Amino acid sequence: MAGKFEEALNNQQKVILFWYPKDFTFVCPTELHAFQAALPDFEKRNTIVIGASCDTNEVHFAWLNTA
């Protein structure tokens, strides 16, 4: 994530940094899909989106492999 944030600062981009509760919850995919669908609009506005949660890398990996 540090690389993306530094890249945004160097390119004078805006940053939306959001946290989601946890993987494997109902809210998580709903919010993530909404941000994913809106990415082209954010890019047009010179904005990057970074999402974060408190889950471990192992949990993220397991969650990604269930899709």
Catalytic residue IDs: 28
Burial class (CB in 10 A: 0-12, 13-18, 19+), 34: exposed
Helix (H) or strand (E) holding 17: strand 14-19
